[in-house]
């Protein structure tokens, strides 16, 4: 009898132990990004759909526990984002937050997640600070960063013959760093920077800047700006016939979603860098088609990156046998990343996903055969070249390892 | 929360009753503020308190002096940046950090005020907007603000060396204390002879001048006080959220505080507080709904402007119950 009781007790104990492996009997992922502002197409609800897709493709459960995805619109306000993130962690048992468009939001949420001992996987923000000086043990940066964009557009384009550059730079830190990083890769690859002109943030009139760029005779005009500024500059450039005049336009932060918004007519000839293009392999086409059926849009690198981040997170939980932060974070650092977004990707000790990026060129409208088929892939840049070597990232955790 | 109107002179017993009811309302509100962190999320409440103080400071200028500033984000965001920098880089304690923020914001207010109060009406609003945009671009480019990354991971520190502010509940009561002090200061200002002069300037500037008041100096003083209170709110907010970013200095923030004040009711002490609570709650709860936040906030604003022109609290004061209690808005 005593033996029976003991075995029942042991059985009960192991059962509770198995239950305790997943906190609160549910794995909860939060998708926090801008869903009504300027980045609504860049990430937005599409990223949420990508996350839902990842969960469905994973089977809807991990370790026999349901997976839930919650989402919120941070309206590009770091305080709203911070408030929601803390509330998710403290009262709604969210285990990890992903996407995090906008640098100030991503940095803030990554910092508070480190304090709360939770995982963040940023796909929507560009700053290399996330895996540099402000890196954290549980913070991961997935899809892209400014360094990869600079290497892709700056370095690879020179090899394609674009060896003299003129920059149109947004007059603030983000613009300077893009110009500086890209310029460095241009000169490192044997190109030269003929000059640059700085325009104020949120400028409407690019004509005088574009005329200077045109007059410089540079083969490539680099747009070291973002969002609406890039769109306005491209539109003005189309009106001036800059691409038809033989110069190339290179946008440093621009994705499929923005090209679609602008239309192939205005964007033709534009070169840009993304870490994902849907019409590249059979696998990516199949994924994109399913994504399109849900959202009526093809995925860009942020959407596909979010899909990959969610998938990898779930794989790590599966492999760890628990959703405890330390164990999952450990596996996220070591598991190879192989999915539709990244083939043979690795994660550095600073949390940076090292994956291939692609130099893309917008086709002429006549060459576009199917909807959303905007790009020619000009070059593939291996991840080890595109991203900062973790040892040189300035992340204190790398030195500690 | 508003002083009773002596000229209306209802029967003494009624006045006494009304005063008692008002005292009960005041105590109930205080009790609510003390107990509410047990039911609602402290960070969310602290955010409301910061914005409420910001809106109340703004209302000191709009509601009581009649000056519509479109540049208050500069003081709010400036206070946040100064405090964040002082606490994070210089390693100051939170109370000294807040002092730096308030003094910095007041200094900004002095400079902007000196230029802006020379003009009235729309020109005043435009000059404040232009100056605050100049400050925005300064913050965008200055090295100490880290551009669009913002100043992150600001330590909350230990208040006066005793109260550990990294505890959410401690932080809440600290913020509540600052908020109540700020509201008390505003109440004192508007109910002082100085406040009466401000109101007289609002009602009729020419007459105030003819009575011998140096109007420009009073307006400047009000502007600087309002800036200092906005700066105080920003300073505290940077400690609550542990960062200072460009969002707080952007012109949209100046618009948001106007929205809060108008929704709650200008020229009432409590109106901006209610307005701030409403706007922040909308932002927070709509964030997780599929509805577009900006559209809903816009619709709420339109409905309020069309239906409650005095703002929520202003309408209550003007209603029969409000009047019987002796409430009166100062606008």
Hey, is B158 helix, strand or coil?
A: strand
**A270: alpha, beta or left? (left if phi > 0; alpha if psi -120 to 50):** beta
pLDDT for position A354: 96
- H, E, C per residue of A173-234: HHHHHHHHHHHHHHHHCCCEEEEEEEECCCCCCCHHHHHHHHHHCCCEEEEECCHHHHHHHH
Query: For all residues of chain A together, what is the average pLDDT?
Result: 90
Q: Is B291 left (phi over 0), alpha (psi -120 to 50) or beta?
A: beta
Contact flag A173-B146 (C-beta cutoff 8 Å): yes
Residue B3 lies in a domain: no
* Centroid of chain to Cα A401: 26
pLDDT reported for residue A3: 54
* List of chain A residues whose C-beta atoms are within 8 Å of the C-beta of residue B287: 72-75, 80, 84
Per-residue confidence in pLDDT tens, chain B, 331 aa? 444 444 444 556 666 777 888 889 889 999 999 999 988 889 999 999 999 999 999 999 999 999 999 999 999 999 999 999 999 999 999 999 999 999 999 999 999 999 999 998 899 999 999 999 999 999 988 889 988 889 999 999 999 988 999 999 999 999 999 999 999 999 999 999 999 999 999 999 999 999 999 999 999 999 999 999 999 999 999 999 999 999 999 999 999 999 999 999 988 999 999 999 999 998 888 888 888 888 888 888 888 888 888 888 988 888 888 888 878 777 6
Q: What is the DSSP letter of B151?
A: B
Total number of residues shown for chain B: 331
Residue B320 CA to residue A331 CA, distance in Å, equals 66
As a whole number of angstroms, the distance between CA A231 and CA A261 comes to 9
Q: Cβ separation of B287 and A74 shorter than 8 Å?
A: yes
What CATH number was assigned to the domain covering residues A26-144+281-350? 3.40.50.2300
* Chain B residues within 8 angstroms (CB to CB) of chain A: 41, 43-44, 47, 137, 140-141, 146-150, 152-153, 237, 241-243, 245-247, 283-284, 286-288, 290, 292-295
CA distance A100 to chain B (A): 13
pLDDT in tens, A343-384: 999 999 999 999 999 999 999 999 998 899 999 999 999 999
Put simply, whether A295 touches B (Cβ < 8 Å) is no
Q: Residue A78: which of B164, B249, B260 has the closest Cα? A: B249
CA distances from A206 to A169, A209, A238 (A): 11, 5, 11
Q: Is position B278 within any domain?
A: yes
The Cα A3–Cα A9 span in angstroms is 10
Q: Do A91 and B41 touch (CB under 8 A)?
A: yes
Look up residue B231 and give its two tokens.
Answer: 């700066």
A36 touches chain B (CB under 8 A): yes
Contact between B44 and B240 under an 8 Å Cβ cutoff? The reply is no
Run of H or E residues at B163 = strand B163-164
- Residues from chain A that touch B242, judged by Cβ atoms under 8 A, are 82, 108, 111-112
State the count of interchain CB pairs (< 8 A) between A and B: 102
- Examine residue B329 and state whether it is found in any structural domain, yes or no: no
Which residues in chain A are classed under CATH 3.40.50.2300? 26-144+281-350, 149-274+357-381
Instruction: Report angle CA B178, B182, B184 to the nearest 5 degrees.
Output: 115
Q: Which two tokens stand for residue B203?
A: 């009602």
Q: Is the residue at B8 inside a domain?
A: no
For residue B47, list chain A residues with Cβ-Cβ distance below 8 A: 79, 83
B72: nearest Cα among B123, B103, B112: B112
Which element (helix H / strand E) includes B74?
helix B73-88
Chain A segment 250-269 residues within 8 A of B by beta carbon are: none
Please answer yes or no on whether A82 and B241 come within 8 Å at the CB atom: yes
Return the closest-CA partner of residue A307 out of A36, A34, A48, A131. Answer: A48
- B290 chain-A contacts, CB cut-off 8 A: 45
Q: What is the pLDDT of residue A15?
A: 44
Q: What is the pLDDT of residues A251-269, one digit of tens each?
A: 988 999 999 999 999 999 9
Into how many domains does chain B fold?
A: 1
- Residue B7 lies inside a defined structural domain of this protein: no
Output the pLDDT for position B53.
Answer: 97
Chain B residue numbers touching A35 (CB-CB < 8 A): 292
Looking at the domain covering A149-274+357-381, what would its CATH class be?
A: alpha beta
Instruction: Please tell me the distance from the alpha carbon of residue A193 to that of residue A183, in angstroms, as a whole number.
Output: 7
Token pair 């892209």 in the structure block, residue: A144
B294 neighbourhood in chain A, CB within 8 Å = 36-37, 75
> Between A76, A83, A108, which is nearest B243 by CB?
A108
Residue A35 C-alpha, separation from nearest chain B C-alpha, in angstroms:
8
Higher pLDDT, B227 or A5: B227
Record: contact B287-A75, CB cut-off 8 A? yes
pLDDT for res A385: 92
Q: How close A74 gets to chain B, by Cα (Å)?
A: 6
Q: Say whether residue A112 is in contact with chain B using an 8 A CB cutoff.
A: yes
Place of tokens 């400047």: B220
**From A87, A172, A173, residue closest to B41, measured CB to CB:** A87
Angle subtended by helix axes A301-320 and A44-58, to nearest 10: 30
CATH number for the domain that contains residue B262 = 1.10.3470
Give this prediction's pTM: 0.87
Question: Of A66-75, A150-159, B232-241, which range is least confident?
Answer: A150-159
* B259, part of any domain: yes
Neighbours of A19 (CB within 10 A): 12
pLDDT at position A13 over 50: no
B97 assigned to some structural domain: yes
Answer with the residue of higher pLDDT: B327 or A191. A191
Tell if the CB–CB gap between B153 and A111 is shorter than 8 Å.
Answer: yes
pLDDT at A12 over 60: no
Contacts of A26 (CB under 8 A, 6+ apart): A65, A66, A67, A68, A93
Question: Which residues constitute the domain of residue B180?
Answer: 13-324
Contacts of B106 (CB under 8 A, 6+ apart): B224, B227, B228, B231
- A24, A97, B176 from A93: Cα distances, Å: 7, 11, 27
A358 Cβ contact list (under 8 Å, min separation 6): A152, A273, A274, A275, A276, A277, A280, A377, A378, A379, A380, A381
> For residue B17, how many other CB atoms are within 10 A of its CB?
15
Tell me which of A2 and B324 has the higher pLDDT: B324
Partnered with residue A119 across adjacent β-strands are A96
Minimal C-alpha gap between B222 and chain A (Å) = 29
Contact state of A87 with B44 under an 8 Å Cβ cutoff: yes
Q: What is the pLDDT of residue A400?
A: 57
**Token pair recorded at residue B291:** 């509805």
The complex scores an ipTM of: 0.82
Element spanning B159, H or E: strand B158-159
Residue B8 is predicted with a pLDDT of 47
């Amino acid at each position: 009898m005593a033996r029976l009781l003991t075995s029942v007790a042991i059985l009960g104990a192991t059962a509770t132990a198995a239950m305790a492996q997943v906190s609160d009997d549910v794995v909860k992922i939060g998708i926090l990004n801008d869903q009504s502002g300027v980045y609504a197409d860049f990430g937005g609800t599409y990223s949420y759909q990508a996350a839902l897709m990842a969960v469905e493709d994973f089977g809807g459960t991990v370790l026999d526990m349901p997976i839930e995805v919650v989402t919120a619109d941070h309206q590009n306000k770091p305080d709203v984002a911070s408030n929601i993130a803390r509330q998710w962690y403290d009262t709604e048992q969210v285990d990890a937050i992903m996407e995090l468009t906008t640098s100030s939001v991503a940095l803030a949420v990554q910092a508070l997640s480190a304090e709360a001992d939770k995982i963040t996987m940023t796909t929507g923000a560009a700053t290399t600070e996330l895996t540099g000086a402000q890196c954290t043990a549980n913070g991961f940066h997935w899809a892209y960063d400014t360094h990869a964009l600079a290497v892709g557009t700056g370095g690879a384009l020179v090899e394609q013959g674009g060896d003299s550059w003129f920059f149109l730079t947004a007059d603030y830190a983000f613009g300077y760093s893009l110009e500086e990083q890209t310029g460095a890769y241009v000169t490192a690859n044997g190109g030269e920077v003929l000059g640059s002109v700085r325009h104020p943030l949120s400028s409407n009139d690019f004509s005088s800047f574009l005329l200077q760029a045109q007059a410089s005779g540079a083969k490539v005009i680099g747009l070291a700006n973002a969002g609406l500024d890039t769109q306005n500059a491209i539109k003005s450039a189309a009106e001036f016939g800059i691409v038809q005049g033989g110069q190339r336009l290179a946008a440093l932060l621009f994705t499929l979603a923005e090209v679609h918004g602008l239309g192939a007519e205005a964007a033709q000839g534009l070169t840009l860098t993304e870490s994902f293009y849907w019409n590249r392999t059979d696998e990516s086409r199949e994924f994109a088609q399913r994504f399109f059926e849900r959202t009526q849009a093809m995925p860009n690198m942020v959407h596909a990156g979010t899909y990959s981040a969610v998938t990898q997170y779930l794989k790590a939980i599966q492999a760890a046998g628990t959703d405890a932060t330390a164990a999952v974070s450990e596996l996220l650092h070591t598991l190879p990343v192989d999915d539709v977004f990244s083939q043979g990707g690795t994660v550095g000790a600073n949390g940076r996903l090292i994956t291939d990026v692609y130099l893309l060129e917008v086709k002429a409208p006549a060459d576009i055969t199917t909807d959303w088929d905007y790009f020619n892939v000009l070059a593939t840049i291996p991840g080890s070249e595109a991203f900062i070597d973790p040892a040189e990232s300035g992340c204190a955790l790398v030195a500690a390892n | 929360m508003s002083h009773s109107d002596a000229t209306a002179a209802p029967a003494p017993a009624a006045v006494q009753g009304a005063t008692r009811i008002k005292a009960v309302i005041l105590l109930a509100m205080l009790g609510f503020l003390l107990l509410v962190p047990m039911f609602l999320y402290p960070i969310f409440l602290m955010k409301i308190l910061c914005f409420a103080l910001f809106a109340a400071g703004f209302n000191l200028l709009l509601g009581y002096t009649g000056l519509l500033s479109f540049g208050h984000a500069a003081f709010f965001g400036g206070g946040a940046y100064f405090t964040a920098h002082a606490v994070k880089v210089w390693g100051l304690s939170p109370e000294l950090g807040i002092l730096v923020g308030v003094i910095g914001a007041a200094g900004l207010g002095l400079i902007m005020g000196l230029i802006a109060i020379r003009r009235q009406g729309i020109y005043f609003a435009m000059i404040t907007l232009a100056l605050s945009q100049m400050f925005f671009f300064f913050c965008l480019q200055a090295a100490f603000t880290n551009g669009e990354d913002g100043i992150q991971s600001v330590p909350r520190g230990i208040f006066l060396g005793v109260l550990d502010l990294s505890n959410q509940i401690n932080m809440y009561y600290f913020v509540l204390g600052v908020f109540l002090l700020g509201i008390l200061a505003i109440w004192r200002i508007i109910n002082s002879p100085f406040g009466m002069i401000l109101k007289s300037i609002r009602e009729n500037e020419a007459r105030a001048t003819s009575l011998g008041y140096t109007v420009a100096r009073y307006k400047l003083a009000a502007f600087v006080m309002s800036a200092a209170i906005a700066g105080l709110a920003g300073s505290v907010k940077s400690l609550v959220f542990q960062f200072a970013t460009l969002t707080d200095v952007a012109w949209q923030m100046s618009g948001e505080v106007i929205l809060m004040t108008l929704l709650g009711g200008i020229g009432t002490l409590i109106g901006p507080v209610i307005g701030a609570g409403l706007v922040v709650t909308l932002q927070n709860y709509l964030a997780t709904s599929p509805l577009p936040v900006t559209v809903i906030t816009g619709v709420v604003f339109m409905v309020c402007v069309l239906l409650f022109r005095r703002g929520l609290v202003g309408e209550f004061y003007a209603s029969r119950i409000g009047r019987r209690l002796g409430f009166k808005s100062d606008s």
